[in-house]
Amino acid sequence: MNGPPDVHMDDVEDVNDSPRMPIQHHMLLPIPIPNTKGGSLRSAFLSDFKFVCLYLTEKLVPSLLQLIGGREEKREAVQKPARQIINFLTQFNEILVLAGADLDLLESAWSGNTLPNDQTEPEASEQFYVLMEASCYFDSSWNIVREISCIAVSKSAFRLLASYANFVARHSGIERLPMNERICPRDVLWNCIECLRSGSPWHVLLSTINSTLLSIYPLPELQRPRFHSCG
């Protein structure tokens, strides 16, 4: 069985690596923060919750493929990136499926920010294939960052990508995909976020020092009933 998904794609560079403003610990904490020879002390109690998502809908597919493949009017220019995305999404035995509204809920619950009403339309009811990771790390200003990053591709966008990919032979990953879908109920998603946001400052600090990375991955379906002993 394949391992948990890694949402990082090859040959794709980070586009937003600008330094972030440091958290003003002295203004947020009820105690004075002393300065030392090595710098000011920071509190592990304060974290910057960040949500990053490549949110690919059907109408965005042509512009994305053009951005990756260039402006050449050649089939190969869009065929190659379309095939790469298809192969990336279909390589796993299970894939998470979320509605657009649940993705919005995920972002607001994690970051603590309320999304504008017009930001959830018109894809709120559409279903997305989602690959997701959670990580803890220090940014360039030594803030603790707790981040969820994901790739969310709508089913209609996936079908359009498959048409651009134009595989000559039958693609087993595309054929298996409907059987590999794992729909996540909203209450399960909410419990997952609460679990990821929990933890003592000490555990959060250790996770940050170690640059911990977790894949949020649906459990495999049981192929046979669990064994129950008698007696």
Predicted confidence at residue 122, as pLDDT, reads 46
What's the CA gap between 13 and 104, in Å, rounded? 25
Looking at residue 135, the DSSP 8-state letter turns out to be E
* CB crowding 115-152: b at 16 or more within 10 Å, else e: eeeeebeebeebbbbbbbbbbbbebeeebbbbbbbbbb
Query: In the prediction, which pLDDT does 112 show?
Result: 81
Question: Tokens representing 35?
Answer: 């300065």
Query: What per-residue confidence (pLDDT) applies to 24?
Result: 55
Whether 131 and 95 have beta carbons less than 8 Å apart is answered as: yes
Distance spanning both ends of the chain, measured CA to CA: 34
Mean pLDDT along residues 197-202: 87
Measured between alpha carbons, how far is 216 from 85 in angstroms, rounded to an integer? Answer: 19
Asked if pLDDT for residue 16 goes beyond 60, the answer is no
Query: Is residue 125 very low, low, confident or very high in pLDDT (cuts 50, 70, 90)?
Result: confident
Name the nearest CA neighbour of 87 among 179, 182, 171, 3: 171
Quick one: pLDDT at residue 32?
Answer: 59
Lowest average pLDDT, out of 34-43, 84-93, 106-115, goes to 34-43
Query: Residue 68 contacts by C-beta under 8 Å, 6 or more apart in sequence?
Result: 81
Q: Which residue has the tokens 């059907």?
A: 58
| Contact yes or no for 65/78 (Cβ under 8 A) | yes
Give residue-wise pLDDT tens across range 75-93: 778 899 999 999 999 998 8
Q: Give per-residue pLDDT as tens, 138-162.
A: 988 888 999 999 999 999 999 999 9
Which segments within 155-189 are labelled E, that is strand? Answer: 181-183
> Six-digit token pair at 127?
């279903």
> Domain boundaries in the chain?
39-216
Binned at pLDDT 50, 70 and 90, residue 218 comes out as: confident
Name the residue type at position 6: D
User: Where does the pLDDT of residue 174 fall: very low under 50, low under 70, confident under 90, or very high at 90 and above?
Assistant: very high
**Cα gap 42→23, rounded to integer Å:** 9
Greatest distance between any 2 Cα atoms in the chain? 71
0.85 exceeded by the pTM? no
Q: What is the CA radius of gyration of the chain?
A: 21
Report CA 123 to chain centroid distance, whole Å. 17
So what's the pLDDT on residue 113? Answer: 75
